[in-house]
Amino acid sequence: MSVANQIMWNRLISIVEEQAQALVRTAFSTSVREAGDLSAGVYDVQGRMLAQAVTGTPGHVNAMADAVAHFIREIGIDTMVEGDVYVTNDPWMGTGHLHDITVFTPAFHRGKHVGFFGCTAHVVDVGGRGFGADGNNIYEEGLQIPIMRMVDDGKVDRTLMAMIRVNTREPDQLIGDLFALAACNEIGRRRLTEMLGEYGLADLETISAFILDASEKATRARIAALPQTKATARMQIDGFSKPIDLVTTVSVEGEEIHCDWTGTSGVDPKGINVPLVYTKAYACYALKCTVAPDIPNNAGSLAPFRITAPEGAIVNAVRPAPVALRHVIGHLIPDTVFGALDQILPATVPAEGAGALCNFQVSLRPTRAGGRRSEVLTFNSGGAGARPTLDGLNATAFPSGVMTMPVEATEHAGPVIIWRKELRPDSGGAGTFRGGLGQYMEVGARAGHEFDFSAMFDRVDHPARGRAGGAAGAATEVVLSDGQRLPGKGKSMVAEGKTVRLAFPGGGGYGPAADRDPAAVIRDLRLGYISRAAARDDYGLSDAQIAEALS
């Protein structure tokens, strides 16, 4: 029976991956189609996550793991019927901010309710001030959709669709994404029905018990083998108008790990605050990557991790705090957790990396006849931190896992021009293993347009720190083409003809640079990852060695 259960478990993982790929193929927003900023999963009738798609982000899928309980409570499980689809973008019941739309669909088999399929996607606009940190409360950040029926017994709520259309700058994209979310859940539901019929099952109860029990036992066994101790880590980051202190204490307690955020800075007046559900998502991700990376992610494998934070901390913001850029701080949570884990499990976790995605949104306006208004969101990344035995990955979005958007897709989305996009030499922190490189980027508008540039960056004043003697990575830079420096967060107006020049941060190095293999230094020099000066000053190559390497 266990072999059959394992086969069905793998089948469920395959189903949710097909579900996610269906969303990628049908979504309207480039953030989904090109960057993969989404999640998909299947849940039992009690709302426990059984499997997640490989495609997607930890912030979405781990936050969504807690969301089904809210849908069950608000909708009422006794009222659910085949043909229903439910929706919300509530930051505290979904995935942390209004720009993520979460959709759940109850799955029925032969008239019996057997579970749920859920998915989330980041949409380009939900009205309000637009995507950025400038809001002073949740009411300024866009349209709020409470948990409700989007489709009731097969009938689309046209009033809801009309309300959404009139409150967003990109109504066609948003409505298209909503139907794409519903369609991908429908793909999952159909495949589940086929699987249950093929194996002669009436429901998911047997396979659910097998998955959750096996995953939880395996994770608890890994934790029990760890040193029974605790450690505290601190990391200071840019914040909006003043630095933010992230403080966490990780305690290994028998078969469980407790991650507490007491000591962290309080809620910020601007939209960089993080609902606890999102803090939990990324803290669990860091713990699981370190302790049990090979155990599938589900409610069972997440159960031994307990995440707490004082109410009112920036990582446990409550309504009506502004939370639009909750990812900028949320993506730095794993680096803080790794700082504590490094004290418990030396030579295991990477150095600090860029962490936060290097996203920006461009709101374009015509300055003459023939132009068009447009909202263009781009996903970009800095360098990842070096690992105990490997260099950091260049221009890689860790921990979010989303893809950097191609220039062609960005320019297709609106009258925007990407004048430059290339790796940033010398941005990776020096070390025995070098930090990953960041990128250079320059963005402007086509003739006849001006734009608002909404910055969503960190690591401007607090670059990624190295570990075990490694050097820090390069800091973020945001500069107008006329030399004026722009803030790392917030909206700035860019006049027609001007561009924004960006330098994205690099990851920290690991270990002393003096211990780096000279062959690796020469390789980096030849590839253009480091300059002659860095090869000489950071790694000790002689002028003769440099000349020979470049000859």
Burial of 293 (0-12, 13-18, 19+ CB in 10 A): exposed
* Region 391-418 average pLDDT: 93
Would the pLDDT of 1 be above 60? no
* Region 121-137 average pLDDT: 94
**pLDDT score recorded for residue 36:** 87
* Region 9-35 average pLDDT: 92
Distance CA 97, CA 118 (A): 17
| Digit-coded pLDDT (tens) for 178-216 | 999 999 999 999 999 999 999 999 999 999 999 999 999
Distance CA 507, CA 353 (A): 4
| Digit-coded pLDDT (tens) for 85-125 | 999 999 999 999 999 999 999 999 999 999 999 999 999 89
Helix (H) or strand (E) run with residue 333 in it: helix 333-344
Q: Any residues with CB less than 8 A from the CB of 458 and at least 6 apart, and which?
A: 237, 238, 328, 329, 332, 355, 356, 476, 488, 489
Distance CA 322, CA 273 (A): 6
**pLDDT score recorded for residue 59:** 87
Q: What percent of the chain is helix, strand and coil (3-state, nearest 5)?
A: 30, 25, 45
The answer for 229, left when phi > 0, alpha when psi is -120 to 50, beta otherwise, is beta
Q: What is the DSSP letter of 470?
A: P
Q: What percent of the chain has pLDDT over 90?
A: 90
CATH assignment of 2-216?
A: 3.30.450
Mean pLDDT value across the chain: 95
**pLDDT score recorded for residue 29:** 87
Please say whether the beta carbons of 505 and 354 come within 8 A.
Answer: yes
Query: Could you tell me the pTM of the whole model?
Result: 0.95
pLDDT confidence band for 162 (50 / 70 / 90): very high
pLDDT confidence band for 5 (50 / 70 / 90): confident
Please say whether the beta carbons of 248 and 233 come within 8 A.
Answer: yes
Domain ranges of the chain: 2-216, 350-516
**pLDDT score recorded for residue 55:** 84
| Digit-coded pLDDT (tens) for 332-370 | 999 999 999 999 999 999 999 999 999 999 999 999 988
| Side-by-side strand order, sheet with 230-237 | 230-237, 244-253, 256-260, 305-308
